[in-house]
Structure 1
Amino acid sequence: MRKPTFIYTSIGSGFFALTLVWTVYNAYMPIILGDFIESRAIRGSIMGLDNLLAVLLIPIIGAWSDRLKTPLGGRLPFLLVGMPLAALFFIILPFSSQTTLLILLIVDIIFLLAMTIFRAPVIALMPDHTPKDDRSKANGYINFMGGIGALIALFILAPLYDQSIYYPFSIGGILLFLAAVLLFFVVERNPKYAAVHQEENEEVKALQALKESASKLFHTDFRGHLFILLAIFLYFIGYSGLEAQFTVYATEHLQASPGDAGLTLGFFSLSFVVFAIPAGIIGTRLGKGKTMLLGLVFLPIVFLIMPWLSSMFVLKIILFIGGIAWAFINVQAYPLVADLGGLTKIGFFTGMYYLFSMSASVIAPATLGLTMDLFGHPALFYTAALTFVIAYLLLQTGIKQVKGKTA
């Protein structure tokens, strides 16, 4: 009889490898594209393609894996196709950068499609193998492993980029393939909780919200709710765009090595992981809205300081401080939106949260890349700061209106 911790950790290996590979991809694909495309906006548009494919295809694949009946079960066929294929083309990606832009883009698209094939099924493994009462604990294991994957990508694999462009991609691809092998032996073919779980991934919730009832938000009763969601949309543009373009800024403007650029970005992720739980405790005591507003004041200040810094060491410290502010914001965001739904509309507002945040992630890299094209590299931070300032005003207004309605 396998222990639950072993099951959670094994299933979490899929999320670990998924997060590690995405982190390497997001850090270095913009730099690779820079050898062919000067415009940061066009590079950003390509970087937003994975989020667009996710919104369009993952709900379909997730539903397909729910219904599929094979000797390997419903999830494993997608894992055994998607994970090795993604691993292979992830390893090939830097080699294709030595050829032509067309070949690079073909390899990139195949890689993105392969990642899309297995993302929903690998996430669904947790509720498949876990009783409902234990899912919060299991989700904690899995998200922890995802965080470890991101940190390994930025603190261990990123510095290897300076030794060879091939190392981070090769190691990441191998780890993704090994995760597929592990899951093949661990995943039950007919998991006992698969028929009863009603979990849905964020892309499904976003697409359902868009199809079913997004128009509700334009009713006067939901004006405050709309302001809060628009605030989330705006600050996710700033966050996602900066995350996608930071290594471009560091290598092109500060002349940092790609490895040091990725490592520096890692300090933002590290502080978020360290301060996520304390931020949740503070949010419980101070209030979700007030805690988010504090972060939305603090983080733009961090962004406005960064264009004036040329030392990568100082940037690491500033980004670490910025990650604390991001924890104040992001840890509270979904619970705040879920609270808007009361007891009857939690599903609707959950869908709205994912719709607004994921839509922002689709356009963010191109949006901030365009400002860099038009106004220079430091515009990355000024634009990100502006999105957070406007988000602060919208969130503050939205919270007041919602409180006024419920008073």
Structure 2
Amino acid sequence: MKQERPFLYSKIFVIGSGFFALMLVWTFYNAYMPLILGDYIDSKAVRGAIMGLDNLLAVLLIPVIGAWSDRMSTRIGNRLPFLVVGMPIAALTFILIPFVSTITFWILIAVDIMFLLAMTIYRAPVIALMPDHTPPEKRSTANGIINFMGGVGAIVALFGLSKLYGVDRAYPFIVAGLLLFITFVLLYFTVDRKPPYASNTSDSLDESQATNSLREGIKTLKKPEFRGHFFILLAIFIYFIGYTGIESQFTIYAVEHLKMDESTAGFTLGFFSLSFVLFAIPAGLLGSKWGKAPIMLVGLVLLPLIFIIIPLLPFVPISNQVLLLQIVLFLGGIAWSFINVQAYPLVADLGGKSRIGFFTGLYYLFSMASAIIAPGLLGLLMDVWSHPALFYGASLTFIIAFYFLRKGSLLVKQAHSQTGESKNLVDLH
């Protein structure tokens, strides 16, 4: 009988480098691709619609690719073939983006679509590498490592690559593309061809759960007893419109409205991501102590107050406006941690232990659906009412979400009290 290879955290860190590169590239792409598209397109709505394309491809294709990688059998295993195709092509096309952007719009779009497809091809298989190499009892720790490295990738993109962008537009694309290719080489020579804990993992992918929920979840939410649950999910859908819209349109606001350098715009946005990473654990502890929904409601009050301040900053008589904006965004990241850290655990608790998977799928369905429409919708507001409408529109989504989350939480709490279920199910105290 073949002896299983021992579990190694060093291997998890190498696998985590795949998520580091993934988040590095995605974060930089989301921040700077709208500016590159601006060379050809004035409309913020059209640029936003193009930026929502990656989320649409993810929901449509990633479940299919994940299931395919579960079933594939080759001499290099079932995940690596997708990495062999996807990662080098993604690296090459990402490097090409700044160069083809100076040729014609349609060549830029063609390369962009190739890049998005390549990223979609390898995303599910690279995520599945972690459970393939990790025993079930250690997957929570391993997942923490993976997510930590992803967070580091996002911060490096906004603080490090943004500075390179100020030197030469092509440099960060070259560096990120090379890092992506180096990561591919590391993974190729590190991961097992026959991993010891391999199983069908496609159903656990976020996108797969979203797609599966689309078929059965909506029918369930129409029932009167799930009205409160629907309101909570609707709140998540609405506030993700505001968050995703700002994520994709902030650099346009900073460069076109504030006349900020492009590199400084991405660097400034990094303060939002930095504070979210720093305060994610404290926010989780607060949610455990005071209840998930109450802490989310606090964040949904604070974040619009912070965002509404941003359009007023140019009128404040202070010499360093950029520093002031960075401070405000840092505070915004803290408020966002109050919201986002609690959201998934709250939804997963809604149905009790027997329906965690069902409500997990609904969470990803509602959050990902908003990411498809948000960049274009917030961009349309900017087209119609000028650049500051980005923050006023986003603030409005958080205010509306506050209403639905509060109402939904009360309805769920009442329903559980009537049936005699423990309030710990939803942790709304």
TM superposition score normalised by structure 2: 0.94
**What is the aligned-residue identity percentage?**
62
Runs of 4+ with >4 A deviation: 196-199
Q: How far off its partner does 1:319 sit?
A: 0.3
CA distance in 1, matches of 2:7, 2:359: 36
AA partner of residue 70 (structure 1) = T
The match for 1:111 is 115
Q: Is 2:247 the counterpart of 1:243?
A: yes
The match for 2:101 is 97
Q: Deviations over 1:114-148 (max 9, x none)?
A: 00000000000000000000000000111000011
Q: Does the 8 Å contact 1:127/1:199 carry over to 2?
A: no
Which residue of 405, 410, 414 corresponds with 1:395? 405
Q: Does the 8 Å contact 2:66/2:202 carry over to 1?
A: no
1:3-402 superposed matches below 5 A: 4-195=8-199, 200-310=204-314, 311-402=321-412
Q: Deviations over 1:204-237 (max 9, x none)?
A: 0000000233211011000000000000000000
Q: How far off its partner does 1:183 sit?
A: 0.1
Equivalent pairs, count: 407
AA partner of residue 389 (structure 1) = I
Q: Does the 8 Å contact 1:132/1:197 carry over to 2?
A: no
Q: Does the 8 Å contact 2:93/2:115 carry over to 1?
A: yes
Q: Does the 8 Å contact 1:61/1:117 carry over to 2?
A: yes
CA distance in 1, matches of 2:7, 2:233: 41
Q: Does the 8 Å contact 1:86/1:114 carry over to 2?
A: yes
CA distance in 2, matches of 1:348, 1:214: 11
Q: Does the 8 Å contact 1:269/1:323 carry over to 2?
A: yes
AA partner of residue 171 (structure 1) = V
Q: Does the 8 Å contact 1:206/1:353 carry over to 2?
A: yes
CA distance in 2, matches of 1:340, 1:66: 30
Q: How far off its partner does 1:199 sit?
A: 5.9
The match for 2:420 is none
Q: 1:198 to 1:37 in 2, by over 3 A?
A: closer
AA partner of residue 84 (structure 2) = L
What RMSD over aligned residues (CA atoms) do the two structures have, in Å?
Answer: 1.0
AA partner of residue 90 (structure 1) = F
CA distance in 2, matches of 1:54, 1:24: 18
AA partner of residue 314 (structure 1) = L
CA distance in 1, matches of 2:222, 2:176: 44
Residue aligned with 2:237, SS: helix
AA partner of residue 335 (structure 2) = A
Q: How far off its partner does 1:2 sit?
A: 6.7
Q: Deviations over 1:17-61 (max 9, x none)?
A: 000000110010000000000000000000000000000000000
Q: Does the 8 Å contact 2:304/2:398 carry over to 1?
A: yes
CA distance in 1, matches of 2:284, 2:353: 22
Which residue of 401, 404, 407 corresponds with 2:414? 404
Q: How far off its partner does 1:352 sit?
A: 0.5
Q: How far off its partner does 1:5 sit?
A: 1.7
CA distance in 2, matches of 1:196, 1:70: 16
Q: Does the 8 Å contact 1:124/1:199 carry over to 2?
A: no
Q: How far off its partner does 1:343 sit?
A: 1.9
Q: Deviations over 1:143-193 (max 9, x none)?
A: 000011001101111111111110111100000000000000111001010
Residue aligned with 1:309, SS: helix
CA distance in 2, matches of 1:18, 1:196: 22
Q: How far off its partner does 1:195 sit?
A: 2.9
Unpaired runs of 5+ in structure 1?
Answer: none
TM superposition score normalised by structure 1: 0.99
CA distance in 1, matches of 2:41, 2:202: 44
Q: Does the 8 Å contact 1:12/1:142 carry over to 2?
A: yes
